[in-house]
Amino acid sequence: MIEYIHGTIAELTPTYAVIDCGGIGYLLNISLPTFTRLEGSTSAKLLAHEVIREDAHVLFGFIDEQERSLFRLLIGVSGVGANTARMILSSIAAPELEIVISTGDATRLKNVKGIGAKTAQRIIVDLKDKIKPIGDALILQPATTNDIFDEALAALVMLGFTRQQSQKVLKKLFDNDPTIKVETAIKKALSMM
C-alpha cells in the first residue's frame, strides 16, 4: 500500500495531479480543495489511497489526513464508489462535509451530482457516529479570470459534463461575479447542472 507520494508537481489540473517522484510520474486523482491548496506550488506531498480494480490501479491523492479519512469513510458506504466520494469532497470541503454529516443535512448531500435521497441518508446513517467536525474553511488562492474559467471548465468536462453545458453555466456565474474563485465556480456549477 502506498502511504504518500512526495515530489515535484509535473502537472496540475482541478481533477488530477502528476507528481514526479524519482523520475516516475504518478497520476493521482484529487479533489478541488486539494487542487486549490496545491496551486502555485512546485512540489507536493500527497497522502495516497489506491483503488485496485480488474482493469486498473487508480491512485487518489489528498492534501491532509482529514480529507483522506473522509474519503475512506465515504467509500465504505454501500453505493458510494471512489469517484463519487471524490465528487462529494469536491462539492463540499472536508471540514464542511463533517458538519453536513454530523448534523444530518441530507439536502446538502443530495445537491451533489450522483447522490440521491437514499444514498444521502445512507451516508448520514452510516457515518454520523464516526465523524466529529473539526477545522476551518480552506483559503482560496488568487488567479486571473481566464485561468479560473478554463480550469473550472476543464474540471467539469473531466467530471462528465458536456463542454457546451459547462461553458453556458460558467458564463452565467462569471457574468454575475467576475472575481469568483475556481473552487466556488465549480461548486456552484455542479449545483446548477
H-state helical runs in the chain: 32-38, 65-75, 82-91, 94-102, 106-110, 117-127, 145-158, 163-176, 182-192
Q: pTM to 2 decimals?
A: 0.68
Query: What is residue 6's predicted lDDT score, i.e. its pLDDT?
Result: 95
Closest by CA position to 6, among listed 55, 56, 63: 63
Architecture of domain 65-130: Orthogonal Bundle (1.10)
pLDDT in tens, 99-157: 889 888 889 898 888 899 999 999 999 998 887 654 433 333 334 456 678 788 878 87
CATH number of 145-192: 1.10.8.10
The ranges of the chain annotated as CATH 1.10.8.10 are 145-192
pLDDT in tens, 52-89: 889 989 999 999 999 999 999 999 999 899 999 999 99
Query: What is residue 68's predicted lDDT score, i.e. its pLDDT?
Result: 93
Q: Which CATH class is domain 4-62?
A: mainly beta
The ranges of the chain annotated as CATH 2.40.50.140 are 4-62
